[in-house]
Chains A and B, each alone.
Chain A
Amino acid sequence: MKIEFVLNEKKQVIQVDPVSRLLDILREDFELTSVKEGCGEGECGACVVLMDGKAVNSCLIPAGNIEGRHILTLEGFCKTERYKIIEESFLKAGSVQCGFCTPGIVMSTESLLRENPQPNDNEIRDALSGNLCRCTGYNMIFEGIKLAAERGKGLW
């Protein structure tokens, strides 16, 4: 079936099987490999992208559901001012170890700060509840997000 959607601000028309996963379309057809597969069943958040501004697990989204939607991956987001703030805050706070969870966490962070530019500790925990990280133990990611919210005041 033919599907039209917006990917990283660009209109795309593709021919796909409607049940194929958004994750595979992004990784295989568009070579957007920031989107990772950690579990393929909605448990780990490594595949998080934004759909109309909201964080979703792309492994759970069938192609049929993206018709007319705006999809944002880290490849698109990393050109923004807000990304720069997140990057420098994550660097400073030591939020990254093996990095496999990181793209998904960056996208969840963007989704959180869009909704809630000054989140408290519980709101940060809650926003990351779908992103597993096996390396950091999370606290230093929370620090990175807090720092981003602080340094990026006014950007979100």
Chain B
Amino acid sequence: MKDSISKPIPRVDAPAKISGEAKYIGDIRFKNQLFAKTVRSSRAKAGIVSIVKPELPEGYFIVDKDDIPGINRMRTVVSDQPIFAEEEVNYIGQPILLVVGPEREMIYDIISKIKIKYRDETPIFNLDEAEEKGAVFTEYSYSKGKPEAAFQDGLKIIEDEYHTGLQEHVYLEPQGMAAEYRDNTMFIYGSMQCPFYAEGALKDVLGWGSDRIRVIQSITGGAFGGKEEFPSLTACQVAVASLKTGHPVMMIYDRDEDIICTTKRHPSIVCYKAGLDRKNQVIALAIDIKFDAGAYSGISPVVLQRGMFSATGVYNFPHLSVRGRNFMTNNVPSGAYRGFGAPQTIFSMEMLMHNLAIKLGIDPLDYKIRHLLERGEPTCTGGKIWDEVKLPEIIEKVTAMSDYRRKIQSNGKYKGVGVALFLHGCGFTGNGEQLIKGKIILKKNGGTVILKVSSVEMGQGAETCLRKIVAHTLLLPMEKVTCETIDTGLIPDSGPTVASRTTMIVGGLLRQASLELKDRWNESDNIEVSRVYRHPDYLRWDNDTFHGDAYPTYSWGANVAEVEIDPITCEIDVKKVSAVYDVGTPIDETTLTGQMQGGIVQGIGWATVEVMNPSKGKLKQHNLTDYKIPTSMDIPEIACEFIENPYEFGPFGAKCAGELPFVGAAPAIAAAVSNALSVPIKNIPITPEYLMELDKHED
């Protein structure tokens, strides 16, 4: 495949990162800048009775709710979180005020003298308590077929319950944001995924129009969803501080602070009632999904929606009812994290199928294959699988690569192999893409082309892939195609860098615009072509009933994991992961392989070592000594392959990719552990304590 778009090229952002010249926000200094440090709630739920502030030395400031010129709420899906706490606090770590000044030592000294008096109230710490008290933020449901009638029809009923835990992103660069108020305009610089989200939040908080706000992304050291909505909060805080002090204000979190107060992956409980017919086929399924949204609702409603619309994984169940609820607790707010609610429900679904199969004495892979979705069949929300489903080919390849069929027969105790099948809905959920109407601009300037988009480089390779799509279409060398600075004053809003939408949706618009530019190339030296997203006509979605095509198309995958369990310590050693993906056409094989490798390893972390449990609303693990992520010593051999399945509306056939690999790793590992120890795995992270507990029950 000479000259195929998939042929790897060197990443455009890598040289400056390797040489250390790349400047992240913490590496930048503004003239006369001040530092800001946040004073946070030490209580999970309390009224604020009083705040006694010390006398401030000259040049030092306290910035709080009273300094906000506009609305004291962070704009997101549900704009319920205050920028600075008002009369009450609802989680440990909630921001109350900033201390701002030139010297860090003095700032710490001032903070130590601030006395906050609280009136404690009764908090809610987990899903069970929240359910008991009816503390629900959001409740949705949908159904397909006739689930109630089906359950009445003499089916064998099996009920089951699955749990997943908190997960911290641990992007290696902690959150950082700076504001500089000058020329009647607020300039914001920082590590972020979604500059226009921050702009929207700033408009509310400052009460200004976008003409007086510029949000400029600095090189972003990893994000994974953790820099989706959260930076809107810090952007507003430093903006208000800069407005008050008249100085540029810089706020960089250290790791402890970052872990304590930033969003995390939603902990979940998923309950099933499965109805099996005489051939043991699952005919009817009732799914009840519970997410711990933490103290504020924020972006959680859409996370729940994706979790619900992915809840049946790669299977087709004729009769289905799905209920989803976000619960309010006094834990740190949950938020966007790679996979966005889908990893929780797909883990649970995969393990349900696995555990059912074992119970019935059927090979888990064969049992799963009996339920697979096929092209033309209805999706769980009553839409249609429009495009070809290459799961049979994917399964054949991954089982051959891993020798799965032989190993599942011959593995001895403490050695296990497990398989997971999964999908990911590409782009925004439901009518999200139609609402956002992403826009892009391509500008020819002599022999060069500049592309203007709001999709950011955050490590995933977006800049290289988007430039490559344009360069490849126009037959130009990469150097002739550049990206405009990510500055809301210079670029159109092509939507946030989320939902694995960058390559497929934004790249798709760039591809169309480049084709037009190619046709018109000789018209003049200065040509501007723009495009606004249009949903394919054949897709239908009703956002009130959740009926129709929840996603334009899907990417698919299968993982086989092999593990060994230490018989004494019960520690899990993941030996190998074999992975096959259908992401349409990979835009760059090396970049895509990087996404897959990294996603798998994050998934291994979530499934095994990443333990985070709050005790009374306080995180017991709040640094990298206590909260372990996989290191170079922990990772398995990973074999990763792609199969081609071009998508008509994606650039060169590309579909979504960045979140997909995260989804498959955890269930494959859990299935392998289950195989090794002959126990049903229903919770992650799979800790040694959990395995010992299970072992006791088995004996």
User: Which residues of A pack against B, CB within 8 Å?
Assistant: 27, 33-41, 43-44, 46, 73-75, 78, 83, 86-87, 90-94, 96-103, 106, 124-126, 128-129, 131-142
Separation of A36 and B255 alpha carbons in the complex (Å): 12
In-complex Cβ contact of A137 among B14, B19, B255, B597 (8 A): B597
Smallest distance from the beta carbon of A80 to chain B beta carbons, Å?
A: 12
Q: Is the CB of A78 within 8 A of B19?
A: yes
Q: Is the CB of B224 within 8 A of A134?
A: yes
Q: Is the CB of A43 within 8 A of B624?
A: yes
Known A-B contacts A125-B632, A137-B598, A137-B635; A99 and B13 likewise in contact (beta carbons under 8 Å):
yes
Residues of B within 8 A of A133 (CB): 172, 632
Closest residue of chain B to A142 (Cβ to Cβ) is B632
Residues of B within 8 A of A97 (CB): 222, 459-461, 594, 598
Known A-B contacts A94-B11, A100-B173; A41 and B255 likewise in contact (beta carbons under 8 Å):
yes
Separation of A136 and B172 alpha carbons in the complex (Å): 11
Q: Does B26 contact A (CB under 8 A)?
A: yes
Residues of A within 8 A of B220 (CB): 98
Q: Does B601 contact A (CB under 8 A)?
A: yes
Separation of A88 and B49 alpha carbons in the complex (Å): 60
Q: Does B649 contact A (CB under 8 A)?
A: no
Known A-B contacts A98-B458, A128-B632; A134 and B170 likewise in contact (beta carbons under 8 Å):
yes
5 further A-B contacts with Cβ under 8 Å, apart from A39-B624, A83-B19, A90-B18, are A33-B26, A87-B19, A99-B459, A106-B18, A140-B594
Known A-B contacts A36-B24, A98-B173; A138 and B17 likewise in contact (beta carbons under 8 Å):
no
Separation of A137 and B459 alpha carbons in the complex (Å): 13
In-complex Cβ contact of B172 among A44, A78, A87, A138 (8 A): A44
Q: Is the CB of B11 within 8 A of A43?
A: no
Residues of B within 8 A of A93 (CB): 590
Residues of A within 8 A of B593 (CB): 94, 140
Closest residue of chain A to B28 (Cβ to Cβ) is A33
Q: Is the CB of A38 within 8 A of B172?
A: yes
Known A-B contacts A97-B460, A137-B638; A86 and B18 likewise in contact (beta carbons under 8 Å):
yes
Smallest distance from the beta carbon of B669 to chain A beta carbons, Å?
A: 14
Q: How many residues of B contact A (CB 8 A)?
A: 56
Q: Is the CB of A94 within 8 A of B591?
A: yes
Q: Is the CB of B15 within 8 A of A87?
A: yes
Smallest distance from the beta carbon of B266 to chain A beta carbons, Å?
A: 19
Q: Is the CB of B594 within 8 A of A136?
A: yes
Separation of A94 and B14 alpha carbons in the complex (Å): 9
Q: Is the CB of B631 within 8 A of A38?
A: no
Across the A-B interface, the 9 shortest Cβ-Cβ residue pairs: A34-B20, A99-B17, A98-B459, A100-B221, A137-B601, A33-B27, A43-B624, A137-B597, A74-B20
Q: Is the CB of A101 within 8 A of B172?
A: yes
User: Which residues of B pack against A, CB within 8 Å?
Assistant: 8, 10-11, 13-24, 26-27, 169-174, 219-224, 254-255, 458-461, 590-591, 593-594, 597-602, 623-625, 629-633, 635, 637-638
Give me 27 A-to-B residue pairs in the complex whose CB atoms sit less than 8 angstroms apart, sorted by A's number: A35-B20, A38-B173, A39-B255, A43-B625, A44-B172, A73-B20, A86-B18, A91-B10, A91-B14, A93-B590, A94-B8, A94-B590, A94-B593, A98-B17, A98-B221, A102-B18, A125-B632, A129-B632, A132-B172, A132-B624, A133-B632, A134-B171, A139-B637, A140-B590, A140-B593, A141-B632, A142-B632
Q: Is the CB of A126 within 8 A of B638?
A: no
Separation of A83 and B14 alpha carbons in the complex (Å): 14
Separation of A134 and B569 alpha carbons in the complex (Å): 26
- Among A38, A73, A137: residue with most chain B CB under 10 A: A137
Residues of B within 8 A of A37 (CB): 26, 254
Separation of A102 and B23 alpha carbons in the complex (Å): 13
Q: Is the CB of A98 within 8 A of B20?
A: no
Separation of A113 and B351 alpha carbons in the complex (Å): 44
Residues of B within 8 A of A40 (CB): 254-255
Q: Is the CB of B18 within 8 A of A36?
A: no
Residues of B within 8 A of A91 (CB): 10-11, 14-15, 18
Separation of A86 and B461 alpha carbons in the complex (Å): 20
Smallest distance from the beta carbon of B604 to chain A beta carbons, Å?
A: 9
Closest residue of chain A to B591 (Cβ to Cβ) is A94
Q: Is the CB of A139 within 8 A of B638?
A: yes
Smallest distance from the beta carbon of A7 to chain B beta carbons, Å?
A: 15
Residues of B within 8 A of A99 (CB): 13-14, 16-18, 22, 219, 221, 459
Smallest distance from the beta carbon of A89 to chain B beta carbons, Å?
A: 10
Residues of B within 8 A of A103 (CB): 18, 20
Q: Is the CB of A134 within 8 A of B23?
A: no
Separation of A41 and B21 alpha carbons in the complex (Å): 24
Closest residue of chain A to B626 (Cβ to Cβ) is A43
Known A-B contacts A129-B633, A131-B632; A94 and B594 likewise in contact (beta carbons under 8 Å):
yes
Q: Is the CB of B21 within 8 A of A34?
A: yes
Separation of A106 and B597 alpha carbons in the complex (Å): 20
Q: Is the CB of A132 within 8 A of B459?
A: no
Q: Is the CB of A41 within 8 A of B173?
A: no
- Among B20, B171, B254: residue with most chain A CB under 10 A: B20
Separation of A134 and B255 alpha carbons in the complex (Å): 14
Q: Is the CB of B633 within 8 A of A126?
A: yes
Q: Is the CB of B222 within 8 A of A96?
A: no
Smallest distance from the beta carbon of B339 to chain A beta carbons, Å?
A: 15
Q: Is the CB of A90 within 8 A of B632?
A: no
- Among B8, B598, B629: residue with most chain A CB under 10 A: B598
Smallest distance from the beta carbon of B635 to chain A beta carbons, Å?
A: 5
Known A-B contacts A33-B27, A38-B173, A131-B632; A136 and B20 likewise in contact (beta carbons under 8 Å):
no
- Among B14, B169, B170, B220: residue with most chain A CB under 10 A: B14
- Among B11, B19, B597: residue with most chain A CB under 10 A: B19
Known A-B contacts A37-B26, A98-B222, A134-B172; A139 and B20 likewise in contact (beta carbons under 8 Å):
no
Q: Is the CB of A132 within 8 A of B629?
A: yes
Closest residue of chain B to A27 (Cβ to Cβ) is B27
Known A-B contacts A99-B221, A134-B224; A129 and B15 likewise in contact (beta carbons under 8 Å):
no
Residues of A within 8 A of B169 (CB): 134
Q: Is the CB of B17 within 8 A of A36?
A: no
Known A-B contacts A41-B624, A44-B624, A134-B172; A96 and B597 likewise in contact (beta carbons under 8 Å):
no
- Among A36, A86, A128: residue with most chain B CB under 10 A: A36
